[in-house]
């Protein structure tokens, strides 16, 4: 019994001595004791705030690519770096997966956007260097960065190669110059676009292409599209044909040069701001209506559109045609009609939506680069009429444009709106009314010049 008690006391003393000696041994540099981390509460993703007064052309963010993950949050697929949103792909899960794979495979840890008020391009870096590697399963577009030039066409500033336009920065020359400088500084010669027709993400790469070298020759000027001479408009969208005659469909299309790299998708969580609405007051040429009442000025609104940014979204069960964050039309539960409207907007390259009167009850029409949309889109229902035979007629409390007994367009309750709309139809030589949508309240009306 004494022997057993002595052994236990000896073991206890040895354990105490070992613990004391180990506590006196200093830890080697770089060896850290692991501690249980406190439980972290789940917080909402941090979306970079938009400051409308800021004109910051570039936005730079650095992150750890090993901490990047794909997360579903309130109906959106997000690419997250810890608690910060890097990219918002909306409901497009496949694009989010491709983006996550690219970030991890290429070890991307920095992203910079260029463009204001909305980002036009972005470039990603890996440890401050151009990423190199293959984007498996994703097509890449080859670039000639040594041959880049900044040119102005039709009032828009482009970064271009000798034979094609790459990027459009609108009226911002300094942004185009900055983009050209970045592309040449990192010697990017490929770009991978995720998302179509408008990319949600673009990654520029520096690859060693077999049999290719970066050229440094001076680009030749691009041909400038020929525009007929037009007189100064006196009302919204008014034009007078010059001596060169009407434009062909090819000339109309040439008025909006299209770059091969579309601007970034303006989804939720991005830096896209509302397009500015221009409000103007006009008076119809006839100062009195048929009853002798003096006509007052008509308030008009011009909403600039970028047909390359148009998209169909589903919001609370309703299918809407959106351009940036402006709602062009609402088609309720009919997705097919919304997509047909998107196809029409891209076919006619619509750049303006002009509304007459206050609110959304007055008539409206679309223009393409200041001109009437031209041509006939296959599959789009249209009603032809003779613009010179149109008259204004009262129908209940509303005034309509009619050809004989046939009602063409409802202009609302104000005769002033109808008078101005009649002048616009005749001066723009609209001769076809296309209606997209079966619901009267949710349809999209498109006046075009089909002949």
| Nearest CA among 209, 161, 163 for reference residue 183 | 161
| Nearest CA among 86, 85, 73, 76 for reference residue 46 | 85
CA distance 129 to 205: 10
Which tokens belong to 185?
A: 């500084």
Task: For 202-214, write each residue's pLDDT tens digit.
Answer: 999 998 755 433 3
Coil, helix or strand for 393? strand
Which tokens belong to 138?
A: 């994703």
**67 secondary structure, DSSP code:** G
> Is the whole-model pTM more than 0.85?
no
pLDDT of residue 156: 77
CA distance 255 to 250: 9
pLDDT of residue 205: 95
Does pLDDT of 386 surpass 90? yes
CA distance 31 to 19: 19
Most confident of 43-52, 69-78, 102-111, 325-334: 102-111
**How crowded is the C-beta side of 356, counted as CA atoms within 13 Å?**
30
pLDDT of residue 91: 83
CA distance 64 to 58: 20
| Nearest CA among 144, 159, 158, 163 for reference residue 223 | 163
How would residue 102 be classed by pLDDT, with cut points 50, 70 and 90?
very high
**How many of the other CB atoms lie within 10 Å of CB of 297?**
12
pLDDT of residue 447: 95
Residue that has been written with the tokens 């209606």 in this structure? 435
| Nearest CA among 76, 88, 77, 75 for reference residue 47 | 88
Residue that has been written with the tokens 């354990």 in this structure? 15
Residue that has been written with the tokens 């101005």 in this structure? 420
Say which residue, 158 or 33, is predicted with more confidence: 158
**Long-range contacts, 6-10 (Cβ 8 Å, 24+):** none
Q: Over the range 28-62, which residues count as b (16 or more CB within 10 Å of their CB) and which as e?
A: eeeeeeeeeeeeeeeeebeeeeeeeeeeebebeee
- List, edge to edge, every strand of the sheet that includes 298-304: 278-282, 298-304, 352-356, 364-367
pLDDT of residue 171: 80
How would residue 45 be classed by pLDDT, with cut points 50, 70 and 90?
low
Task: For 369-380, write each residue's pLDDT tens digit.
Answer: 888 999 888 888
CA distance 64 to 104: 10
Does pLDDT of 36 surpass 60? no
pLDDT of residue 270: 36
Window from 44-53, 83-92, 141-150, 426-435 with minimum mean pLDDT:
44-53
Find the helix or strand (DSSP H, E) in which 179 lies.
helix 173-185
| Three-class HEC string of 215-267 | CCCCCCCCCCCCCCCCCCCCCCCCCCCCCCCCCCHHHHHHCCCCCCCCCCCCC
State the average pLDDT over residues 360-372: 85
Sign of CA dihedral 55, 276, 262, 136: positive
User: What count of residues does the chain have?
Assistant: 451
pLDDT of residue 213: 37
Contact 77, 89 (CB under 8 A): yes
pLDDT of residue 37: 34
Residue that has been written with the tokens 């001595």 in this structure? 17
Task: For 193-241, write each residue's pLDDT tens digit.
Answer: 998 767 889 999 998 755 433 333 333 444 443 333 333 333 433 333 3
**How many of the other CB atoms lie within 10 Å of CB of 269?**
18
Say which residue, 4 or 422, is predicted with more confidence: 422
Say which residue, 40 or 259, is predicted with more confidence: 259
Residue 18's alpha-carbon distances to 7, 21, 27, 75, in angstroms, are 17, 5, 16, 58
pLDDT of residue 21: 42
pLDDT of residue 211: 43
pLDDT of residue 224: 41
How would residue 172 be classed by pLDDT, with cut points 50, 70 and 90?
confident
**Average pLDDT of the chain to the nearest whole number:** 74
Torsion of CA 84, 90, 96, 100, to 10 degrees: 0
State the average pLDDT over residues 330-340: 89
Helices (H), 234-312: 249-254
Task: For 134-151, write each residue's pLDDT tens digit.
Answer: 887 788 889 988 889 999
Contact 181, 195 (CB under 8 A): no
């Amino acid at each position: 019994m004494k022997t057993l008690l002595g052994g236990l006391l000896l073991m206890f003393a040895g354990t105490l001595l070992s613990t004391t000696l180990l506590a006196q041994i200093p830890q080697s540099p770089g060896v850290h004791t692991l501690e249980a981390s406190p439980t972290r509460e789940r917080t909402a993703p941090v979306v970079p705030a938009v400051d409308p007064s800021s004109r910051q052309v570039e936005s730079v963010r650095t992150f750890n690519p090993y901490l990047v993950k794909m997360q579903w949050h309130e109906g959106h697929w997000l690419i997250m770096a810890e608690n910060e949103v890097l990219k918002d792909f909306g409901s497009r899960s496949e694009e989010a997966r491709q983006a996550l794979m690219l970030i991890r495979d290429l070890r991307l840890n920095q992203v910079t956007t260029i463009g204001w008020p909305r980002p036009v391009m972005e470039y990603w870096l890996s440890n401050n260097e151009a990423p190199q590697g293959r984007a498996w399963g994703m097509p890449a577009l080859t670039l000639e960065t040594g041959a880049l030039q900044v040119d102005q066409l039709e009032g828009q500033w482009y970064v271009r190669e000798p034979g094609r336009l790459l990027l459009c920065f609108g009226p911002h020359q300094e942004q185009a110059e900055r983009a050209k400088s970045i592309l040449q500084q990192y010697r990017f010669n490929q770009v991978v676009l995720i998302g179509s027709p408008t990319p949600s993400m673009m990654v520029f790469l520096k690859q060693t292409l077999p049999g290719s070298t970066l050229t440094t020759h001076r680009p030749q000027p691009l041909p400038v599209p020929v525009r007929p001479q037009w007189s100064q408009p006196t009302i919204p969208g008014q034009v007078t044909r010059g001596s060169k005659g009407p434009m062909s469909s090819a000339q109309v299309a040439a008025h909006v040069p299209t770059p091969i790299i579309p601007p970034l998708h303006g989804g939720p969580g991005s830096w896209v701001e509302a397009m500015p609405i221009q409000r103007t007051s006009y008076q119809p040429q006839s100062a009195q209506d048929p009853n002798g009442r003096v006509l007052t000025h008509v308030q008009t609104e011009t909403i600039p559109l970028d047909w390359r940014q148009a998209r169909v979204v589903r919001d609370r069960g309703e299918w809407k045609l959106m351009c940036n964050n402006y709602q062009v039309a609402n088609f309720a539960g009919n997705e097919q009609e919304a997509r047909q409207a998107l196809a029409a907007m891209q076919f006619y390259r619509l750049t303006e939506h002009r509304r007459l009167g206050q609110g959304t009850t007055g008539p409206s029409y679309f223009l393409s680069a200041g001109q009437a949309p031209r041509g006939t889109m296959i599959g789009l229902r249209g009603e032809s009429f003779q613009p010179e035979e149109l008259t204004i007629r009262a129908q209940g409390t509303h005034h309509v444009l009619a050809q004989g007994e046939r009602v063409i367009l409802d202009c609302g309750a104000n005769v002033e709106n109808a008078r101005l709309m009649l002048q616009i139809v005749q001066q723009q030589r609209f001769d076809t009314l296309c209606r997209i949508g079966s619901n009267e309240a949710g349809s999209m009306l498109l006046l075009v010049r089909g002949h």
